[in-house]
Amino acid sequence: MFDVVALGESLIDFTPNGTNAQGIELFARNPGGAPANVLAMNARLGGKTAFIGKVGKDGFGDFLRQTLVESSIDVSGLVIDEKIPTTLAFVQLDSKGDRSFTFYRNPGADVMLTSAEVNRNLIDDAAIFHFGSVSLTADPSRTATLEAARYARQQGKLVSFDPNYRPLLWEHPADAVVQMQEGVTLADLLKVSEEEMQLITNESDLARGSQALLEMGPSLVLVSLGAKGAYYRNAVGAGHLPTYDVPTVDTTGAGDAFMGAIHYQLRRKAAEDLRTLPAFELEEIVRFGNAAGSLTTTKGGAIPAMPSMVEIQNCIASIPLM
């Protein structure tokens, strides 16, 4: 039995890595892709996870597969595309460590995953099925993703959705909104950023926006707020928790680490449990996620930066809140 099975993209994040002797900026090859990152965080904490997705038959694809294996993620659902190369993303960081992306994906192997290639046996063996919207940007992966999510719901799995909106991958924001809204209606657990909440609901107020999302179907809505922490809402309450005051280097993967840590805390919960979780329990879960996300920003990259259980526990116990 897997704690979490995720379907989506595994790709290369080229992240800034200093300069050479001539002062030219260098980039480091890092494993990336939100669903894979989420699983890596969970596995780092001891969870049992599996990945469904597609990479190219190239050195980058080999590197990603090996990274997943070394992260203790089951790769029996990973498909190799013989013709289309692995997707690449170049990450730019501003003075605060916040990132922006440039994608080389027209198409990339990840978007070529078909419904027939989805290993449904992995979904059958999962407690949580997780997906995002990057695989909803185009077919055939769009159809494969939505069919897999619907199948997971039919099998009584806890379905988790994180839009992980990347504007450059969509022809128009309206197209993204339609697909993200579809994802929300399929989810029991929803994690969005403030920007994604506003896009999906046309509401910038946290209380109203999270309530609108809850009314679309999820049992639990989490809004990640970056340096401001996170906001939660379910049927019995809502609240805000600050994050931890750490020296931020690179925010890449922080939201994924937050989500992976949340999954680890919820791995034995059903959708109805999420709907009625009391505030004290939810706050303990979100606090744990905040610590995982915060610590991930203290190092470069995503998967290589994700903290251990001991590091998260020490953060909660000793690092002040912002």
pLDDT for 248: 93
How far is residue 214 from each of residues 97, 187, 188, 236, measured CA to CA in Å? 31, 10, 9, 11
Residue 212's φ and ψ, nearest 5 degrees, are: -60, -40
pLDDT for 95: 74
Q: Check if the beta carbon of residue 55 is closer than 8 Å to that of residue 64.
A: yes
Token readout for 189 is 């657990």
DSSP state of 22: T
Largest alpha-carbon pair distance within the chain?
59
| pTM for the model | 0.95
pLDDT for 92: 83
DSSP string, 206-237: HHHHHHHHHTTS-SEEEEE-GGG-EEEEETTE
Give the strand order in the sheet containing 88-93.
25-32, 11-19, 88-93, 99-104
**Cα 266 to Cα 287: distance, rounded to the nearest angstrom:** 13
Tell me the pLDDT of the chain (322 aa) as tens digits. 999 999 999 999 898 889 999 999 999 998 989 999 999 999 999 999 999 999 999 999 999 999 999 999 999 999 999 999 999 999 887 877 677 888 999 899 999 999 999 999 999 999 999 999 999 999 999 999 999 999 999 999 999 999 999 999 999 999 999 999 999 999 999 999 999 999 999 999 999 999 999 999 999 999 999 999 999 999 999 999 999 999 998 888 999 999 999 999 999 999 999 999 999 999 999 999 999 999 999 998 889 899 999 999 999 999 999 8
CATH number of 2-318: 3.40.1190.20
Helix axes 194-201, 206-214, angle to 10 degrees: 60
pLDDT for 16: 86
